[in-house]
Amino acid sequence: MPSPESLQAFVFAAELGSFSAAARKMKKAQSAVSTAIANLEIDTDLQLFDRSSRSPTLTQAGQSLLPYAKGILLGNQEFFAKATSMSEGVEDKFCIAIEQGINLKPVLDVLNAFSGAFPDVSLEILSTGPNDTAALLKEGRALLGLMTEQESYPAGFQFRGVGHSALIPVCGASHPLANLKHVAHRDLRQYRQLVLRSRSRNIPGQVGEIKSASVWYAESPHMIVDLVLRGLGWAELPLPVVRELLRANKLAQIEYTFQQSDALEGIDLVWTEHRVLGQAGQWVQNQLLNISQDVWKG
């Protein structure tokens, strides 16, 4: 059975491109890393690195086994995080970051039950722009986050998809697009699009696609709603944000000719392997993961 140290040496060497860089990362001598990888190759009876050039490169076998090594190491981290949280008991405080525009009803239902289950835990709720939740998790400011799904997350992040949010294209009731029964791409390009985008420069993110030649950005869906109501452009916004304004005929839904159903943005529950969730945090995590996916659409 490979040792965790040999697997870690293998993963770091593959990710960093050299045994010396892996040694610095592990704070060990380079010879110790080389020996650990050599022992792993003996255990598997496979050559994991091609050492014929200055920098070792993964062989085909190494490329195939790398995801499995990462999975084993992640499992070890999750095991000890779980054990630590169980030994520590209930935390004094807990912080969750929720991206603006996500349907809050299922979250509020969970928090209502949380108040009874953990009456002595101080709860903080942060409202974030697109992908700013990831930055707060990375900083340790929040322990759990609900956010629009991303194609990739920084190293050390864990996530589970919990559902989807419907994106509704809208404009003001007096906007020229409101008078068109069916709207094509060429129609959209004539008018300014208002787009939700993260304030973070390190972790860029936006909600929806750019379809117009002229674009304004804002991190708050409520700011974008105000701009749309003033006739300053059109936008694709989460259904919970615009539902009541559509019912009141203050906003008009744009009917695309090129799209027959609502666009859906995935919603992820996100946390990091570097911060341990106590009993209260795990309780919230489990409750959110067990909500029916259809509930999130609003």
75 and 29 fall within a common domain: yes
Positive or negative, the CA dihedral 199, 204, 209, 213 is positive
Cβ-Cβ contacts under 8 Å for 225 (sequence gap 6 or more): 235, 237, 241, 242, 245, 251
The pLDDT tens digits for 109-137 are 999 999 999 888 899 999 988 778 888 89
59 and 189 fall within a common domain: no
Domain with 226, as residue range(s), is: 164-265
232 and 220 fall within a common domain: yes
At CA 150, angle to CA 148 and CA 153, rounded to 5? 125
258 and 173 fall within a common domain: yes
Average pLDDT over residues 32-36: 89
Give the other-Cβ count within 10 Å of 55's Cβ. Answer: 12
Last residue of a domain, one of 29, 56, 87: 87
Element (H, E) at 215: strand 215-218
The pLDDT tens digits for 230-289 are 999 999 998 989 999 999 999 999 999 887 667 788 899 999 887 878 889 999 999 999
Per-residue pLDDT at 84: 62
Q: How far apart are CA 232 and CA 204, in angstroms?
A: 24
- The CATH number for 28's domain is 1.10.10.10
Last residue of a domain, one of 87, 119, 144: 87
Positive or negative, the CA dihedral 172, 173, 174, 175 is positive
Contact indicator for 197, 215 with CB cutoff of 8 Å: no
Give the tokens for residue 46.
């496979």
Q: How far apart are CA 255 and CA 266, in angstroms?
A: 22
158 and 276 fall within a common domain: yes
Q: How far apart are CA 255 and CA 187, in angstroms?
A: 11
Can you list the alpha helix ranges (DSSP code H) found in the chain? 4-16, 19-26, 30-44, 60-88, 105-117, 132-139, 185-188, 221-229, 239-247, 279-289
pLDDT at 293 over 60: yes
201 and 280 fall within a common domain: no
Q: Which of 160, 166, 168, 148 is nearest to 291 (CA)?
A: 160
- The CATH number for 96's domain is 3.40.190.10
Element (H, E) at 171: strand 157-172
- pLDDT bin (cut points 50, 70, 90) of residue 177 is very high
28 and 74 fall within a common domain: yes
The pLDDT tens digits for 141-175 are 999 999 988 877 777 888 999 998 888 999 999 99
141 and 283 fall within a common domain: yes
272 and 159 fall within a common domain: yes
- Per the structure, the count of domains in the chain is 3
Per-residue pLDDT at 219: 85
145 and 58 fall within a common domain: no
Last residue of a domain, one of 87, 112, 130: 87
290 and 157 fall within a common domain: yes
Residue 148's Cβ-count burial label (10 Å; 0-12, 13-18, 19+) is buried
- The CATH number for 230's domain is 3.40.190.290
Contact indicator for 161, 149 with CB cutoff of 8 Å: yes
172 and 231 fall within a common domain: yes
Contact indicator for 257, 169 with CB cutoff of 8 Å: no
Q: Which of 270, 213, 231, 273 is nearest to 99 (CA)?
A: 270
